[in-house]
A = this chain, B = another copy of it.
């Protein structure tokens, strides 16, 4: 496949929306892009109403000119199909193509993503505009990548969706009684005697059916995937040599299982916007990039992937924006590149004057090019330019954390024993602890090959199929080290509790049996037997059936009972952690288990706050060093720093600074 369209080295750029600006400004845009060494821009993401202002009446002239200008400037294009936001005329002509909330409210146009993915009229219109674009621009030399849609993630509860849901369920269950069984249809008189009785989960009197809620999320992911595949196939047919992708958006509300999707894209692309302004931003960045990296291995054109969107100059937290400190944009970008991103792309090139995202960040801010922000954008371009050679390197991680969208959805579908049980928070805590310990981490899906990992961590893996339980057991039996967190292995893939003692899927493997849950209040701290660490959020009655206690609870109803246990199983070891440890204790525990499993940090001796990630090929390796602290830090690592060209036996990073060492 033709990728990245004649580009060499890493991609740099972002969403470019020339249709928001007068054509007179476009040449200046290209000139400024060149100054910043931008080489790839995403065009047309929300341009449907400008490309097809009336049904079937296309206006491509402006886009022709934009693509020509860009090409002439040496800039390649990720050309978007604009199907994430149908034009006003579509909604007016096809009100049945508008989405319906669970309350039955049919939404109106006036924002983005306002369509029903199951509505035939929408699907037809989407295919038509995608075909028109493929026909017009398939041969344009600027075209480097097809960018289908944008951040698939809408939901609808209309009758179109109801019919599609039923069809999906028929395929999944074949027999209606298997569905009744999976959904525990006998609870609250929800036993179906005919497929036609089934509806999407709509507003109802009280708690909904968790099986229905979980399957609806699965269905929506597949339904949206179907819409993507339709466009992908059509684009592939038109331009077999141009890779096709879509940009993933992350978040608990997203009805997309990116693991499943990744086999259908040529390149995994993610949008990443951290939701914390402090050090959490760096931790979230590492986690997202590790996720993307592992998804990337499933893609047709993997294992590399691309950071398709991020915010140049701000972090948005609930309630306000935070301007990034100088250097932070570059450091965040390198954190992605270090983990295999083929570049750093941003939303967006030029800050909009109007529209709903007026104060969103941009490479070229409202204040224009004479700004610190744009200077830093220019500096990032130069930096990426110096890193071209790393593009072939691959990250190898000795530790794996399990991640499963269905588990997340399953936990969202039911009233849990504590509202503080939060799947993402549990997985993040494990990832953060390993990241702080300097260990490389893969984020793997059930079914992914485990044999290469010295350590596997399962945080709050509530839903576990029999097959995955078996795979994990075999992994340990063969010598693997395993850490299972509380509220794992509770239910099967339908969300039905595994009986006779928690965690049903892993009881024998762990050599324990949990009888009762004792969730804690947010501020509660249960002392543990080492005298320093404490349990938080959760505790439970663990009985030993083969495991040995490592830490016990001190005081309270669980006094003297096991809190952390260890169990030799086959050639491996299986740990159980029945409470949430504090960050330091969790880091120490995981680093200790990893050490016992024979693996250590990526860069031994790197001080706290300095992130180290290594990309390697068969013969070469590059060590990325990112100083997230606000003081200079010295790292015992040697090589040629690609950013400065200097060879050193020990690297001193300025406050907030970075180095990328060619090690061999």
Contacts and interface: CB of A to CB of B under 8 A. Distances in A.
A110 B216 CA distance: 13
A596 interface: no
A373 B49 contact: no
Given A20-B187, A414-B358, A420-B320, A516 B367 contact: yes
A206 B355 contact: no
Nearest to A504: B366
A199 B418 contact: no
Contacts of A372: 515-516, 541
A211 B354 contact: yes
A412 interface: no
A356 B202 contact: no
A19 B111 CA distance: 47
Contact of A356 (B92, B188, B196): B188
A517 B201 CA distance: 43
Contact of A203 (B105, B211, B420, B496): B105
Interface in A42-91: 46-50, 53-54, 82, 85-89, 91
What is the count of identical protomers in the complex? 3
B356 A420 contact: no
Measured as residues with beta carbon below 8 angstroms from the partner, the interface class of chain A is 35 or more
Interface stretch (A178-186, A293-301, A443-451, A471-479): A178-186
A517 B197 contact: no
Nearest to A113: B205
Given A87-B191, A110-B202, A517 B321 contact: yes
Contact of A358 (B373, B497, B519): B497
Interface string A22-57: 000000000000000000000000111110011000
Contact of A188 (B185, B355, B366, B519): B355
Contact of A359 (B99, B187, B357, B416): B416
A128 to B, nearest CB: 15
Interface string A106-123: 111111111000000000
A420 B319 CA distance: 8
Given A187-B354, A320-B418, A367-B499, 8 more contacts: A54-B193, A109-B204, A112-B206, A154-B205, A188-B356, A319-B420, A354-B494, A366-B501
Interface of A: 17, 19-20, 46-50, 53-54, 82, 85-89, 91-92, 99, 101, 103-114, 154, 182-194, 196-199, 201-212, 313, 319-323, 325-326, 351-359, 365-368, 371-373, 414-420, 494-497, 499-502, 513-519, 521, 541, 557
